[in-house]
Amino acid sequence: MPVTVAPTRSALWLLLAVLSLSSAQAWAQAYEGARREEVDAGVHTPVLTKAPELVHFVEAAYPAEAAAASKTASVEMLITIDEKGQVSDAQVTKPVGDGFDEAALAAVRQFQFSPAEVDGAPAPIQIQYVYNFVLQPPKVEESAPPPPPPQATLTGQLLARGSRSRVGGATVRCGDDPEAPEALSDQEGRFTLKVTPGTCDVRVVANDFHLFTTKEELAPNETTEVIFYLLPKAPGYETVVRGAREKKEVVRRTLERQELQKVPGTFGDPIRVLQNLPGVARAPFISGQLIVRGAAPDQTLTFFDGVEVPLLYHLGGGPSVLNAEFIDRVDFFPGGFGSRYGRAVGGAVDVATRKGASDTLHGSVKVDLLDSGFFVEAPVADGISIAGAARRSYVDVLLPLVLPEDPEGGTLLVLPRYWDYQVRMDFGAKRGSEPGPGGRSTGYVMAFGSDDLLNVVASGGGRNRDVSVDARTLFHRLKGDWTYRLGGFTSVFTPYAGYDLASLGFGVTKLDASVWSLGAREDIALELLPWLTARTGADVRFEHLVGEGQLPVLEGIQYAPFPGAEPKAELQTIKRVANTFDGALYTELDLKVGPVTLTPGLRATYARIYGQDRFTYDPRLWVRVQPAEKTSFKGSLGLYSQPPEAFNLEPAPLGNPALTHERSFQSSLGVEQQLTDAITVDVTGYFNRRYELVVSPGDTVRNEDGTLTRFPYSNRGLGRAYGVEVMVKHAVTRDFFGWLAYTLNRSEQRRVGGNDYRLTTWDQTHILTAVASYRLPYGMELGARMRYVTGRPTTPLQHTFDRYDADRNRFSGTYGEANSIRFQPFHQLDLRLEKSWLFQSWTLSAYVDVQNVYNASNVEATFYDYRYREVFEVPGIPILPVIGVKGSF
């Protein structure tokens, strides 16, 4: 019997979106990681804009012994296709022996595909391919070919059940016959299959989806149109495996959207997960501060898509100011960040938003006990999509219903309220279009903002004074982004404008500060050689600041009421205006020599603040050595600078025109080790020295005429922080993800010429956090978070006698050594249980997120009675269950 090979060509399950994009191909990815702690679930899911097609097929040689024994086989392989469409690697995933594996590999390695495109650009990709070896009977010579048999056509679209997302790269066929024709769905999920009329046992195979089967009756010479809904294998956990992106920073932890919404104690808010990472100390409840490696909160900056924003969380410690569905990823740099970032001597957080859906209308609605919000995304034309979100709290309505009554008849009114919004429009190359000779341009325009208002009124009862507090924080941003790519050249231009408002009212005192900002970034990357990549850019910002206040006049007649109350005085209105400009140029080089990657960088800054000129130069260096595939060593050295507050440069007695930038020397050394396919360990030690810090009070200077000037501020502060960070991470698998984070930290400070170093307010020696989430049967997920933190340093009250200030009509306290005692250690367990129901075109989830499950009594702060005789502790939140529902489509 003659032997022929009838392989099945396609079986192209577009499986692993391996985006091995170089830094010259995508600027944002040039900065992706270097110890990049990647909890990879729901990663910025790349859009497959063009599937690869087999354009040159090579027939495999049938093994002689197998042919003689009439053996057949199907060889399953994992094929890696590079950006040129060539097969760069092929591996057998299920060996069958008898020479079939070797023959299939030899043939497949000669295949040629049309290049796949991801997000509109050629990119490497991995597919599964099945090569079928079939023995064919000898051909019978016929005098005349018979008439072609009638055919039936099955055409339609593949959608993901529960979200209606298009399923591309799926194989559709009738039955299990290896010789049966099959079709491959395109990026829109559409397919067309021509088969013999009759009953078709439809089988649809797609990566990350269960096998779909059904029966269709197909009539001769007719077309049957269908829509098949494929069931995802693991709803809620979406895992995307991609090629390793360029790593530079020693510590860069990248968190991804969908997995982060499952962490207990965060109420489904991805950005709040930052508080569970190594290097981040726990902030007091409702403060919302980021305390990174012992630095003050204002020494760590936060960005949305590279644009600085004043805050991350509503009402200090509430939900983040960005809708969770809008988040693509969160890049957190506890230190040693790249030259692209500046104006900070602590850490940096950059939250990246994602583009709207390009396939069809999607959205979600979420309602819980704190707030309600919605998210919607849709394509409006080929190459153009929009997305929008909004949220509003109703805590101000519910909180008065649960506040305890004052037994002495007083009144306590706490009215917090917040809202936020985001709108984004993306535009660029059409899906599946070929890049032209002039390159490819894409971009987007986005507007976002947030408003927080807190009113507290306490009066009457047993209080020795009435309290009225009004606090408001508001900001708006409008930004654009234009990205141009041509070969190994990438340019990203980002202009933006913003408005910030912060106001505080305490009794008769009113303070308002507004900032109008205008800025732009230009980031350029160029791959000069395979082992050399250059990056450079500019970062400029102009700010117009206006400060207004209504304060009691310190001179004149004051009428003092009973002790403990504020003196009554006339009010005065003050106003200050300042303009600042900050412009920086930066450059970096990536040099790769074998297993060593060397990245020198420099950031040069010119600032004009309140009429004063300032210059800084910050050289930085990163080294990464990877002696083995699963082992990496890394280290960094660098200088960082942060400008002083504009109003602090006013003439004395309100400021000090001689203030300069705060400075920091940061260093770190670490190792990464992958223990198993799912478990990695990362250990990093660091030492940071901060100097020329702005402290108060400042120096007293003798003038030429013999008079003395005492400045309220000076650059005479010194600080240091050192410690070790450990992270053991279990990557996302089908049913589980989690990590264990531990930080050993010491944060100290002193003044130049002062005494020995002492603990800062931000020191927390031991920080241990364990996070885990497990996917149970029946669409349920259970997660837990356990935290233990050393208590924060505080200054003891040492009352020996009352101290009364008759001029100010108030008492003052007597204290011991600064930060010589600590609060009690903090410990808390949080649980989250979620149940999902998957319908044909939408998904419903219900969850309960319980904070402080065993009702631990943690002290968050202290205050004193008006005579400073007693210390009163402010407890943290008791057990707090939050119930919510979320529908998505």
Helices (H) and strands (E) in the chain, counts: 5, 55
Site of tokens 């059409």: 430
Q: Are 787 and 826 in contact (CB under 8 A)?
A: yes
β-sheet bridge partners, residue 764 = none
Let me know if 558 is exposed, middle or buried by CB neighbors in 10 A (0-12, 13-18, 19+).
Answer: middle
Stretches where the chain sits below pLDDT 70 are 1-47, 136-146, 234-262, 264-268, 284-288, 316-317, 398-414, 429-436, 457-467, 553-569, 808
| Per-residue H/E/C for 247-259 | CCCCCEEEEEHHH
Structure tokens at 423: 């709108």
Q: How many CB atoms lie within 10 A of CB 618?
A: 20
Contacts of 617 (CB under 8 A, 6+ apart): 602, 603, 604, 605, 639
* DSSP element (H, E) containing 401: helix 395-402
The helix/strand/coil state of 235 is: coil
Q: What value, to the nearest 5°, has the Cα angle with vertex 482 and ends 476 and 483? A: 135
Angle at 174 between CA 170 and CA 177, to 5 degrees: 105
* 195 neighbors 179 (Cβ within 8 angstroms): no
Report residue 624 CA to chain centroid gap: 23
Strands 810-812 and 803-805: antiparallel
- Measured between alpha carbons, how far is 536 from 600 in angstroms, rounded to an integer? 12
The set of residues, in sequence order, having a beta carbon less than 8 Å from that of 578 and lying 6+ positions away, is 544, 545, 547, 609, 610, 646, 647, 649
CB atoms within 10 A of CB 79: 22
The DSSP call for residue 211 is P
Q: Is 657 exposed, middle or buried (0-12, 13-18, 19+ CB in 10 A)?
A: middle
d(CA 604, CA 565): 51
Angle (nearest 5°) at CA 272 between 266 and 275 = 110
Task: Determine the Cα–Cα distance for residues 749 and 760; give it in Å rounded to an integer.
Answer: 6
* Nearest-angstrom CA–CA distance, 789 and 278: 12
Contacts of 833 (CB under 8 A, 6+ apart): 780, 781, 782, 783, 847, 848
What is the pTM assigned to this prediction? 0.75
Are 457 and 468 in contact, with CB atoms under 8 Å apart?
yes
Q: Which helix (H) or strand (E) holds 88?
A: strand 87-94
Q: Yes or no: say if 374 and 386 are a contact pair by the CB < 8 Å rule.
A: no
Cα 884 to Cα 889: distance, rounded to the nearest angstrom: 17
Tokens of 619: 């050289």
Round to whole Å and give the CA distance between 164 and 158. 9
Residues 819/760, Cβ–Cβ less than 8 Å: yes
Phi and psi at residue 40, to the nearest 5°? -95, 90
- CA dihedral for 296, 298, 301, 303, sign (positive or negative): positive
Q: What's the CA gap between 864 and 246, in Å, rounded?
A: 53
Closest CA to 14 of 126, 116, 92: 126
Q: Which of 551, 498, 526, 182 is nearest to 311 (CA)?
A: 498
Q: How many angstroms separate the CA atoms of 774 and 234, rounded?
A: 12
3-state secondary structure of 791: coil
- In angstroms, how far is CA 697 from the centroid of its own chain? 38
Structure tokens at 692: 């020329």
Q: For residue 8, what pLDDT is reported?
A: 36
What was the pLDDT predicted at 741?
94
CB 277 within 8 A of CB 270: no
pLDDT tens column, 460-513: 555 455 567 788 889 999 999 999 999 889 999 999 999 999 888 877 788 889
507 alpha carbon, distance to own chain's centre: 39
How far, CA to CA in Å, does 535 sit from each of 4, 318, 723?
54, 37, 31
The DSSP letter of residue 815 is B
Determine the residue type at 611: G
